[in-house]
Amino acid sequence: MDDRPSSHAVGVSLCDSAPLLWRVEDLRTVRSQGLVGALLGSLPRTPRQNVRLGRPLLLLEEEETLLRERQAAAAGYQQDGRGAELRLQVQQHKEDQQRSYEEQSVLALEDRKSALLRAMTSSHTESGAGAQGGALRGRLEALDRSFTFPCSALAVQLSTARAGLSYCPEARVVLRADRPIRGRDELNCDAARYQVFRDLRGRGFYLTSAGKFGGDFLVYPGDPLRFHAHFIAVCVSENESVGLLDLLSVARLGSNVKKTVLLCSPGPDGRVLYTSLQWSGMV
């Protein structure tokens, strides 16, 4: 489906220290790597609802770390040094808009003509074609002369991602994958969580955040678009003692939402020990 090489660097932009992805291409790239993230923005098509959201995509810290790890060796983007002056950019923007206006007014005229043509021909197919044809030609010529495309009807784009030619040159800095997005110490990604995330992702599972289920990750057997989550992963280090009540409460919660609770304990050599709790059925 989307088999771009993983050498494609993903442009992560930090907003309030949260890693956000903006460009569709980047979103596709991370999804093709099985990283789901979470959409935060309003959907352009129908903005006033929360059922389906749009860009930007917020990455989990683990996802960000994984991306960084995978792409550390990849040849990243080189900055092309196109730091056009602001004045030129404003000029460019105005010219673009003017060109867009001209093109759109041609399109609008054509649109109007074809609509007129359709209306005339469909309603007068049987009656005297000659006279009608003359009238049609007259109407079309009149339209050609008098048509003006109002400026307010000009369709303009409210860009989602910052355009490449936008005036903000620092945008391109983060595109270089060989430059870490953030230093390791800046990331407060828990090592245990990351190890579990990496292991589960490595086994082909899709993961999302499971805060509302009282766990660390929700584990999906396939793309979350099509599949329900099977597990609630709770990261517990191997030698950490867990209170019985805590254990029971996560297990109870898991059974209530028809998911299995996985206690994930990262081992020494990158392996993870998975344990699940089940009611024995004995009375």
**CA–CA separation, 75 and 176 (whole Å):** 8
- The closest alpha carbon to 273, from 282, 257, 262, 281, belongs to 262
Is 258 considered catalytic here? no
Selecting among 101, 113, 124, 259, the annotated active-site residue is 259
CA distance 253 to 248: 8
Stretch that binds other proteins, among 131-139, 146-154, 176-184, 263-271 (CB under 8 A): 146-154
Which entry of 93, 206, 228, 258 is annotated as an active-site residue?
Answer: 228
Query: Beta partners for 219?
Result: 207, 231
Please say which residue, 55 or 68, places its beta carbon nearer to other proteins: 55
Q: Which of residues 188-247 bind other proteins (CB under 8 A)?
A: 208-209, 211-212, 221-223, 225-228, 230
Of 38, 117, 143, 191, the one binding other proteins (CB under 8 A) is 38
42, 237, 255, 260: residue in contact with other proteins (rule CB under 8 A): 42
Neighbours of 152 (CB within 10 A): 5
Angle between helices 129-146 and 86-123 (to 10 degrees): 160
Asked if 277 and 264 count as a contact pair (C-beta separation under 8 A), the reply is no
CB of residue 200 to other proteins, shortest distance in Å: 15
Of residues 2 and 126, the one with the C-beta less far from other proteins: 2
Count of alpha carbons within 13 Å of 271, Cβ hemisphere only?
Answer: 4
Q: Is 228 a catalytic residue?
A: yes
Count of alpha carbons within 13 angstroms of residue 104, beta-carbon side: 14
Of the two residues 215 and 266, which places its CB atom closer to other proteins in the complex?
Answer: 215
Residue from 16, 85, 240, 269 binding other proteins (CB under 8 A): 16
Report the residue number, 208 or 237, with the smaller CB distance to other proteins: 208
What is the smallest separation between the CB atom of 245 and other proteins, expressed in angstroms? 17
DSSP 39-102: EEEPPSSS-S-SSS-EEEEEPPHHHHHHHHHHHSSS--PPP------HHHHHHHHHHHHHHHHH
Helix (H, G, I), strand (E, B) or coil at 140: helix
Please, which of residues 162-191 interact with other proteins by CB under 8 A? 162-168, 175
Is there a catalytic annotation at residue 274? no
Least gap, CB of 6 to other proteins (angstroms) = 11
Decide if residue 277 touches other proteins (CB under 8 A): no
What residues are annotated to the active site? 220, 228, 259
